[in-house]
């Protein structure tokens, strides 16, 4: 079953993001809980595409679940993913929700995208080429595209409502959320990235960079949203990795290439994708899940 959007009356939808629909479970007496439903929507260039990618919501949910279970020592939002254990009131929606949803702790999200980069790629590579810096921090000269950084860097950006997130310096990050909170999310992000990169390496995968989100649960800061999925990360296969080349990635590369080549002006509505592009993209998402979940 493919899912483009999702309504679960009488549950109140509190947010419809580019990919996820978020429902408040307060009406079921669960004041502190949310239901996160991951649809099969795909966005590119900040625009939701008209097609669904088969199984995408399932892949993203299962990968996030894989990581949350690995990181059971770190505080995170995941409570339940098995529809059999969901509240009775969700029974009619069981098949829609199976495998692609999670019940999580309701938090107050920080207005930050906590990005960690272990390699020089994407907008990090562009900044380095232009200014010799990464998030305002000078790097050694002569680094090549996709080169591994001496240490992973925390390169946060703001979480803008209109989807155009802006990268900020460490100084600006501290001003935005306060020094103590900034320190906390930086160290958590680096710790998560390093642990993730280590697990990925055992599976022949490189996590070039990734984005985490955190929220306040009372005074405590916990990991929320998705975790190290193809949507939030740049995955490379170690086998095809070459310094100086932009390696093929597991994310929306086929989609981006197609959208670049078809002459779309990048303003909504986005064009319908050809079947071939949809299938190739679905395969890449599936492959990412398989690469991580095999033991
Ligand atoms: N435990 C939580 N408590 C409160 N809000 C959460 C929690 N987990 C996730 N969220 C929020 O739910 C939304 C998920 O929707 P989605 O991933 O589609 O977001 P988006 O921000 O539109 O897109 P993108 O993440 O690609 O920028 C985000 O706004 C996220 O901050
Ligand atoms: Mg998101």
Residue carrying structure tokens 């960079």:
209
Q: What does the pLDDT read at residue 246?
A: 86
Q: What does the pLDDT read at residue 163?
A: 62
Relative to the CA of 20, which ligand 1 atom is closest?
18
Q: How confident is the model at residue 295 (pLDDT cuts 50, 70, 90)?
A: low
SS (H, E, C) 126-189: HHHHHHCEECCEECCCCCCCCCEEEEEEECCEECCCCCCCCECCHHHHHHHHCHHHHHHHHHHH
Residue carrying structure tokens 């990235």:
193
Q: What does the pLDDT read at residue 181?
A: 98
Condensed to tens digits (0 to 9), the pLDDT of residues 212-249 reads 999 999 999 999 999 999 999 999 999 999 999 988 76
Checking if the pLDDT of 141 tops 80, the result is: yes
Mean pLDDT along residues 12-28: 97
Condensed to tens digits (0 to 9), the pLDDT of residues 105-123 reads 999 999 999 999 999 999 9
How many angstroms does the Cα of residue 48 sit away from the middle of ligand 1?
A: 15
Whether residue 22 has its Cβ less than 6 Å from ligand 1:
yes
Please check whether residue 270 is in contact with residue 287, taking contact to mean a CB–CB distance below 8 angstroms: no
Condensed to tens digits (0 to 9), the pLDDT of residues 177-188 reads 999 999 999 999
Please check whether residue 49 is in contact with residue 110, taking contact to mean a CB–CB distance below 8 angstroms: no
Mean pLDDT along residues 126-146: 97
Ligand 1 atom 13: residue of nearest CA: 17
Q: What does the pLDDT read at residue 252?
A: 83
Q: What does the pLDDT read at residue 294?
A: 76
Greater confidence, 174 or 294? Answer: 174
Condensed to tens digits (0 to 9), the pLDDT of residues 90-101 reads 999 999 999 999
User: Could you check whether the bond before residue 187 is cis, i.e. omega within 30 degrees of 0?
Assistant: no
Whether residue 109 has its Cβ less than 6 Å from ligand 1:
yes
How many angstroms does the Cα of residue 131 sit away from the middle of ligand 1?
A: 31
Q: What percent of the chain has pLDDT over 70?
A: 98
Condensed to tens digits (0 to 9), the pLDDT of residues 154-167 reads 999 999 776 677 89
Comparing CA positions, the residue from 139, 127, 194 lying closest to residue 167 is 127
Q: Indicate whether this model's pTM tops 0.75.
A: yes
How many angstroms does the Cα of residue 167 sit away from the middle of ligand 2?
A: 16
Q: How confident is the model at residue 74 (pLDDT cuts 50, 70, 90)?
A: very high
Query: Which residues, in sequence order, are bridge partners of residue 115?
Result: 211
Checking if the pLDDT of 286 tops 70, the result is: yes
Per-residue b/e over 51-73, b at no fewer than 16 CB within 10 Å? bbbbbbbbbbbbbbbbbbebbee
Distance separating alpha carbons of residues 288 and 285, to the nearest angstrom: 5
Please check whether residue 214 is in contact with residue 185, taking contact to mean a CB–CB distance below 8 angstroms: yes
Please check whether residue 102 is in contact with residue 80, taking contact to mean a CB–CB distance below 8 angstroms: yes
Whether residue 41 has its Cβ less than 6 Å from ligand 1:
no
- Domains along the chain with CATH numbers: 12-106 (3.30.200.20), 109-262 (3.30.470.20)
Q: How confident is the model at residue 126 (pLDDT cuts 50, 70, 90)?
A: very high
Please check whether residue 182 is in contact with residue 174, taking contact to mean a CB–CB distance below 8 angstroms: yes
Ligand 1 atom 16: residue of nearest CA: 17
Which ligand lies nearest to the CA atom of residue 225 in the structure?
A: 1
Mean pLDDT along residues 22-31: 98
Distance separating alpha carbons of residues 157 and 12, to the nearest angstrom: 29
Mean pLDDT along residues 276-283: 95
Q: How confident is the model at residue 253 (pLDDT cuts 50, 70, 90)?
A: confident
Checking if the pLDDT of 22 tops 80, the result is: yes
Mean pLDDT score of the chain:
95
SS (H, E, C) the chain: CCCCCCCCCCCEEEEECCCEEEEECHHHCCCCEEEEEECCEEEECCEEEEEECCCHHHHHHHHHHHHHHHCCCCCECEEECCHHHCCHHHHHHHHHHCCCEEEEECCEECCEEEEEEEECCHHHHHHHHHHCEECCEECCCCCCCCCEEEEEEECCEECCCCCCCCECCHHHHHHHHCHHHHHHHHHHHHHHHHHHHHHHHHCCEEEEEEEEEEEEECCEEEEECCCCCCCCEEEEEHHHCCCCCCCCECCCHHHHHHHHHCCCCCCCCCCCCCHHHHHHHHHHHHHHHHHHHCC
């Amino acid at each position: 079953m493919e899912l483009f959007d999702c309504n679960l009356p009488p549950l109140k939808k509190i947010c419809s993001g580019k990919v996820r629909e978020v429902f408040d479970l307060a009406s079921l007496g669960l004041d502190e809980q949310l239901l996160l439903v991951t649809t099969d929507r795909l966005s590119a260039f900040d625009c939701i595409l008209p097609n669904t990618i088969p199984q995408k919501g399932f892949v993203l949910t299962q990968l996030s679940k894989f990581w949350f279970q690995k990181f059971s020592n770190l505080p995170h939002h995941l409570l339940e993913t098995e529809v059999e254990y969901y509240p009775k009131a969700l029974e009619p929606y069981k098949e829609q929700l199976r495998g692609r949803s999670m019940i999580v702790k309701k938090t107050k999200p920080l207005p930050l995208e906590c990005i960690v980069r272990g390699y020089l790629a994407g907008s990090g590579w562009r900044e380095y080429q232009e200014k010799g810096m990464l998030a305002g921090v000078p790097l050694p000269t002569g680094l090549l595209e996709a080169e591994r950084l001496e240490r992973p860097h925390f390169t946060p950006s703001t979480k803008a409502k209109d989807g155009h997130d802006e990268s900020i310096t460490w100084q600006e990050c501290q001003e935005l959320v306060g020094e103590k909170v900034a320190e906390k999310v930086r160290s958590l992000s680096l710790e998560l990235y390093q642990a993730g990169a280590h697990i990925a390496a055992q599976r022949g995968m490189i996590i070039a960079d990734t984005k985490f989100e955190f929220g306040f649960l009372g005074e405590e800061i916990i990991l929320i949203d998705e975790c190290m999925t193809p949507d939030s990360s740049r995955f490379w296969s170690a086998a095809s990795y070459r310094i100086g080349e932009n390696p093929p990635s597991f994310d929306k590369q086929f989609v981006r290439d197609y959208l670049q080549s078809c002459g779309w002006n990048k303003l909504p509505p986005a064009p319908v994708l050809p079947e071939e592009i949809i299938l190739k993209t679905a395969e890449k998402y599936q492959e990412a899940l398989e690469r991580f979940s095999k033991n």
